[in-house]
Every structure is written in structure tokens, then in C-alpha cells.
Amino acid sequence: MSIEEEKFSGGVAVVTGAGAGIGMGFARRLAAVGMTVVVTDVSGERAEKVAAEIRDSGGKAEAMVVDVSQPAELDRLAKTVFEKHGAVRVLVNNAGIETIGYTWEIPVERWEATLNINIHGIVHGCRAFVPYMLKQGGEAWIANLASIGSFGTMPTQTSYIMSKHAVQAFSECLYLEMELAEAPIHVCSVIPGMLKTSIFDVDAGKGEPEGSDRHRKAMRDMMQAYGMDLDEGCAEFVRKMAENRFWVDSQPDMTREAVERRIQYMQNQERPELAEQARALL
């Protein structure tokens, strides 16, 4: 029996934004190690497709429509899941979007959507679920989706990058709060490096400034050429979660390099500088 099966099998997992990408990968892997997975997404069609694929493979899954940008939706999700299942062993706050464009050109609606989904979706996911998780007793796990971008900067991806810096800081503080409260809830920061997902697909950029599709295509092509297989990356995430790690990454060398660059930048109090590799994408 693997450590993932030992820790998670038989429990209930809730994954937000699980209709595609990393959320979908998480849902499939958690089901594979024996969990009942609540697959949530803003699109009911996408959520049900993933849940059906899990069931067809012999796993247990159900779909729910949830818009994480609305705190009341997360309250409803937590209430519904706990009333039905009684306990949640794993919560993966995954839902997120990428937004491209100069800060002053991104429409207010897209700015608000990015911050509400990427930051507030995670904050209010924890706020809604933690009281129930504390009452249920026993070990539980919360995984918040950060990014390799949590430790760097990238112009024209400003809204996404700043949101992931915020998620990293939030997860670190939440981890300490669990220690202070002596709660049996393990908090981790999930740090994808480069995985093959649909986050940079052109149709995901609705509401972005004109011309952002060129940057999207460059990033998508790079991910498809050099990215890690989605299921392989999510298997790494789940294993490291089961090992109670805080830093849960897909490509440790990439994480290490990003963190070391950030440390050097801050220690030397340097001016922000755009790497040549990044410049080529813009």
C-alpha cells in the first residue's frame, strides 16, 4: 500500500476548478488512491465529464457547479458536502485563471475575476471548510494552488503573478495558524512548475486586452513542448501531500532555482529585471 492510499483511501476529497487542468489531474489521482471525489467547476458540463470518467474507471466521484469567486457558493459547497458525507479529508483549492495584458489595459471585470477566483476563492474556501474540518476531528489536508510564479515576476502576467504571491503568503500564515490552534489539519502550498494544461488556451482569455492571444500562444506552445505530463505532476503532488510536506511541487529543481533567484534579488535589493528568456515571449 502506498502512503497516499494509507492516508487518503476511503476519505472524501473536494477539488475546485476540477473540470480541466491541474484540478482535473488532482481529481483523477485522488480517486485512483481510493477517495470519493467531489468534482467542482463553474461549468457543470466539465465537472460531470470528469466525474463520469472517474466513475467509468471504477472510482467514486460526483459533480457540483461552484463559482469560487462568490463566497456564498463556497459556503453552500461546504454545507452540502458535510451534510452528505459527514467529513472531508482533503480540500484542494485549485480554481484559478491566467490573465494577460498591461495592468492599465485589462478591463476591470477581468481584473476582478482574476483576484476573486485566484485569491478570494482560496481564502473563502478555507474559511468555509475549516470550521467543519475542525469539528469532524482527525487528520485533514488543505492544498492551496500557488505557482512557480509565486517567487518571481513577469510583466503582462501581473494580475496572475501577484495573486500567486498572495496565495503563497496566505498558505504560510494558515499553516502557522493551524500550529497555533493545535489543529490536525495539514496545510500545503502546491507549486506547479511547467505542466501540460489548458490554462493558456486562447479561449480562456475572454475579456483580455487585444493582442494578448500572441503571448498566450507562445506560453501554450512552450508548455506543450517542455511541460511535464499532467497526471505525472499530480501524482507527485498527492504523494508529497501524504508525506505532510508544506512545499508540494512538481519540479523541485525549478522551484529551487526560482527561490534562489528571489533570495538573491531581495538580498541585493536589485531593481526588477526581465530575463532574456522571458523577453523573447513578449
Q: How many whole angstroms separate alpha carbon 36 and alpha carbon 162?
A: 33
Assess contact for 193 and 150: CB atoms under 8 A.
no
Q: Helix crossing, 21-32 with 230-242: angle to 10°? A: 60
| CA dist 42 → 64, 230, 259 (Å) | 9, 21, 33
Strand partners, 41: 65
243 phi, psi to nearest 5 deg: -85, 5
3-state secondary structure of 144: strand
Q: Is 265 part of the annotated catalytic residue set?
A: no
Q: What is the 3-state secondary structure (H, E, C) of 67-94?
A: CCCCHHHHHHHHHHHHHHHCCCCEEEEC
Of 199, 188, 200, 198, residue with least CA distance to 236: 188
Q: Which of 132, 160, 226, 265 is catalytic?
A: 160
Residue 142: all three cell numbers together: 488543505
Catalytic residues: 160
